């Protein structure tokens, strides 16, 4: 109880300080998230690259197109306990090595100070905006649903999900082990460790599937950081009997206590210190991979997106809500890797994204928040071309596949170019659910980042698709 009061008091103090600071130096906190391999790291790297010097190809970002951004520079971040996003390392990997940066495995942060010229009128003259970018794994958001969930409820759902036909092959070893455990036996550390490790192996197997949509929390099991081996990460679901109380001193009680410790030590601090302070949010979605995997992957992706949005506290802020219950005022959904298909199919990709998030969007808009969706490529790795197939001329893309990528029967070495016709997306999103795309029939090889003519970055910026539109929606209204 006293810790809860301290948490609330600390949150209020932080909110009051933030509002006071905003009166003199406006600031915005932008959250960047998405499930595995959706392009979070690339998006954040490209965003910072363009704001700090690559604004020459951003026509839809009005402050840049009108020449009103005077300077944007990286400055020390405010949260000393959060790792700094390694921007310099990632941008060098993209430009110098032509390698995609490593994936997001923990929360990280950057601060940008943006100096701009306000539009003419009574507010004309120089202005400044502090932009804090918070990059974090989408799997961590799924954990927020556990805050109001009991150990019994979580165990029941986890076991139920593991028995689904698409999950059973990965879950079989863990399920066989827990079937042989009586939850009422005396707490045994070795049994707890074995059950936990097998459960983590199951989650890792789900995570490594091509569609990489794993909706079973805890998300931190796959990204333990400094909690590796800690009791708060050493638990697992058990097969419990409904209505039967958990025995004192039993294995089930040990698991329950550690489940509650996970919520107290991991989930609540993340929510309090980072998540509830987000002003704007972008959710990146790898729609193309799910489309190629078929209806089961699409259903799982839709469920994951819905869980992510349930965790958000959205709506238009008043002075009262900003102090007592801060909300994310704008949420952008972005289907990534749009450069893997020709632009004539981008409308279909966006339509399918809207179809996926429709339920979540209706709920979010009802709170007063603004919601948008688009197809983008934070860094464009291909160019558009055509390929002849008999009498037909197909709209295709060309680029350099990474070493080891297989396109048709050809294995690529990372240096040779390939022309790829990825296949056609259905004109009606609902057709995909009915099986309009045969799983595995689309071609989306992993292309290397583009070769730039001027690697000094003084004159040439990273090519993109609609990154400027994303920036305009997320922060454009703060730069007028």
**pLDDT, tens digit (0-9, with 9 covering 90-100), for 380-415:** 999 999 998 888 899 999 999 999 998 878 899 999
CB atoms within 10 A of CB 427: 11
**CA dihedral angle for residue 126, residue 472, residue 44, residue 461, rounded to 10 degrees:** -80
Vertex 158: Cα angle to 156 and 163 (nearest 5): 95
Write the Ramachandran bin of 428: left for phi over 0, alpha for psi from -120 to 50, otherwise beta.
beta
Query: What was the pLDDT predicted at 4?
Result: 47
Please write the tens of the pLDDT for every residue from 189-221.
999 999 999 999 999 898 887 655 556 789 888
The answer to whether 280 and 474 are in contact (CB under 8 A) is: yes
In the three-class reduction of DSSP (H, G, I as helix; E, B as strand; rest coil), residue 225 is classed as helix
CA nearest 108: which of 136, 74, 79?
A: 136
Q: Please, what are the domains in the chain?
A: 2-136+274-380+464-478 (3.40.50.300), 142-268 (no CATH)
Strands 392-399 and 418-420 turn out to be antiparallel
pLDDT per residue of the chain (480 residues) written in tens, 0 to 9 = 334 444 444 444 444 455 445 445 689 999 998 877 889 999 999 999 999 987 888 999 999 999 999 999 999 998 888 999 999 999 999 999 999 998 877 889 999 999 999 986 666 789 999 999 999 887 787 788 888 899 999 999 999 989 988 889 999 999 999 999 999 999 999 999 999 999 999 998 988 876 555 567 898 888 786 688 899 999 999 999 998 999 999 999 999 999 999 999 999 998 888 777 899 999 999 999 888 888 878 888 888 888 777 777 777 766 545 655 668 899 999 999 999 999 999 999 999 999 988 888 888 888 888 999 999 999 999 999 999 888 889 999 999 999 999 887 889 999 999 999 999 999 888 888 887 888 888 889 999 999 987 554 445 689 999 999 999 999 999 998
Q: pTM value?
A: 0.87
Per the CB < 8 A criterion, the answer to whether 323 and 20 are in contact is no
- pLDDT at res. 312: 75
Four-residue CA torsion sign, 208, 462, 131, 118: negative
Q: Which two tokens stand for residue 238?
A: 């058990």
CA angle centred on 306, ends 86 and 367, rounded to 5°: 95
CA atoms of 264 and 251, how far apart (whole Å): 20
Q: Is 128 exposed, middle or buried (0-12, 13-18, 19+ CB in 10 A)?
A: middle
């Amino acid at each position: 109880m006293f810790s809860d009061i301290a948490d609330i008091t600390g949150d209020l103090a932080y909110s009051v300080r933030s509002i006071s600071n905003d009166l003199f130096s406006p600031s915005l906190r932008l959250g960047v998230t998405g499930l595995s391999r959706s392009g979070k790291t690339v998006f954040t790297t490209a965003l910072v690259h363009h704001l700090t010097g690559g604004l020459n190809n951003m026509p839809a970002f009005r402050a840049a197109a009108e020449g009103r951004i005077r300077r944007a520079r990286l400055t020390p971040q405010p949260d000393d306990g959060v790792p700094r996003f390694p921007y310099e390392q990632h941008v060098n990997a993209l430009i110098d090595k032509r390698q995609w940066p490593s994936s997001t495995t923990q929360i990280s942060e950057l601060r940008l100070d943006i100096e701009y010229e306000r539009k003419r009128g009574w507010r004309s003259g120089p202005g400044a905006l502090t932009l804090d970018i918070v990059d974090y794994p989408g799997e961590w958001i799924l954990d927020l649903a556990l805050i109001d969930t009991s150990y019994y409820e979580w165990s029941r759902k986890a076991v139920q999900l593991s028995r689904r036909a698409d999950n059973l092959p990965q879950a079989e070893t863990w399920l066989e082990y827990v079937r042989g455990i009586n939850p009422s036996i005396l707490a045994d550390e070795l049994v707890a460790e074995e059950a936990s490790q097998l459960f983590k192996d199951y989650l890792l197997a789900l995570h490594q599937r091509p569609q990489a949509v794993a909706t079973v929390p805890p998300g931190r099991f796959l990204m333990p950081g400094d909690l590796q081996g800690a009791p708060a990460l050493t638990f697992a679901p058990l097969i419990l009997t409904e209505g039967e109380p958990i025995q004192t001193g039993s294995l089930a009680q040990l698991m329950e206590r550690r489940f509650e410790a996970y919520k107290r030590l991991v989930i609540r601090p993340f929510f309090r210190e980072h998540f509830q302070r987000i002003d704007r949010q972008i959710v990146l979605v790898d729609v193309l991979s799910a489309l190629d995997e078929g209806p089961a992957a699409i259903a799982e992706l839709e469920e994951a997106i819905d869980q992510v949005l349930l965790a958000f506290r959205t709506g238009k802020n008043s002075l009262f809500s900003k102090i007592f219950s801060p909300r994310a005022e704008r949420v952008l959904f972005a289907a990534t890797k749009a450069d893997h298909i020709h632009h004539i199919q981008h409308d279909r990709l966006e339509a399918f994204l809207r179809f996926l998030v429709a339920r979540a969007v209706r709920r979010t808009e009802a709170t007063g928040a603004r919601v948008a969706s688009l197809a983008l490529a934070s860094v464009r790795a291909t160019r558009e071309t055509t390929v002849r197939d008999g009498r037909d001329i197909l709209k295709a893309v060309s680029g350099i596949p990474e070493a080891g990528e297989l396109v048709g029967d050809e294995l690529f070495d990372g240096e040779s170019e390939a022309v790829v016709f990825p296949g056609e997306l259905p004109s009606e999103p609902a057709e995909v659910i009915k099986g309009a795309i045969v799983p595995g029939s689309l071609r989306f090889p992993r292309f290397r980042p583009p070769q730039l003519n001027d690697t000094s970055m003084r004159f040439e910026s990273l090519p993109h698709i609609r990154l400027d539109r994303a920036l305009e929606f997320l922060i454009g209204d703060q730069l007028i």
